[in-house]
Amino acid sequence: MRIALLSDIHANLPAFEAVLEDLKNQNPDAVYCLGDLVGYNVWPNQVIDLVRKHGIATIAGNHDLKVSTILSSEGDCSKEENSEYAYKLVGSKERDYLLTLPRHLRLEFQINDQQLSMLLVHGSPRSINEYLLQELSEDYMVELVKEFKADILCFGHSHKPYHRIINSGKDGSDHFHHLINTGSVGKPKDGDARACYVLLTIDQSASFTSKDTVQVEFVRVKYDVEKAAQAVELSLLPNSFADSLRKAY
């Protein structure tokens, strides 16, 4: 089974459209989004509309939940740059959608008499705002995956993609866990301005006793970065948001 995982679209319509076009060619069996559909860019409603039209199962990100306190810009005559403008663009129906998204999704696989549990979160299972950075200690990550019973833990939030394998087994008995940060579709921060998503392959040999039976591929997709950056510069969003798209920081 091939599963596409994407996250942190951040209202970047050109990037999301490019990823959707690439997914047509990849033809995965399922697509999941790990949140943050809005923020930083000017197309939140269009992105939400495409997510819903394509039937992409989605969880809430921390930026999605900001619309609970930042309402739309109707009647707002402000002419000053501010980062909250990104959330004020969100329509009422789109706002309702974001605020009813689930926080986590869990998939259970039964393969070769073993149960593999795959947990999809935005930040971490403990907090939507927690950054699971690649340099976190193995002891911390082992404690986390054991607490939440995750053989495969998938997350976004930091916008920095990585795949890390850890072993929680003891006394010569291996139990491997896969930690997968999907990177960001609409606001990469790893120095590569291309959109990023993950293709995860789980086949009939998949087992938590072997670290090589779950395959993770990071897919990078070119898109019109200048179109997105210039749209930011023509809006009330800070121009620094446009610079971060160009430089991917």
Q: What percentage of the chain exceeds 90 in pLDDT? A: 91
Mean pLDDT of all residues in 230-235? 98
Give pLDDT, residue 74: 57
Gap between the Cα atoms of 89 and 94, Å rounded = 10
Question: What are the pLDDT digits (tens) for 168-178?
Answer: 999 889 999 99
Mean pLDDT of all residues in 67-80? 73
| SS3 assignment, position 133 | coil
Question: What are the pLDDT digits (tens) for 104-163?
Answer: 999 999 998 899 999 999 999 999 999 999 999 999 999 999 999 999 999 999 999 999
Gap between the Cα atoms of 159 and 148, Å rounded = 23
Question: What are the pLDDT digits (tens) for 178-223?
Answer: 999 999 999 999 999 999 999 999 989 899 999 988 999 999 999 9
CB atoms within 10 A of CB 3: 19
Mean pLDDT of all residues in 3-22? 98
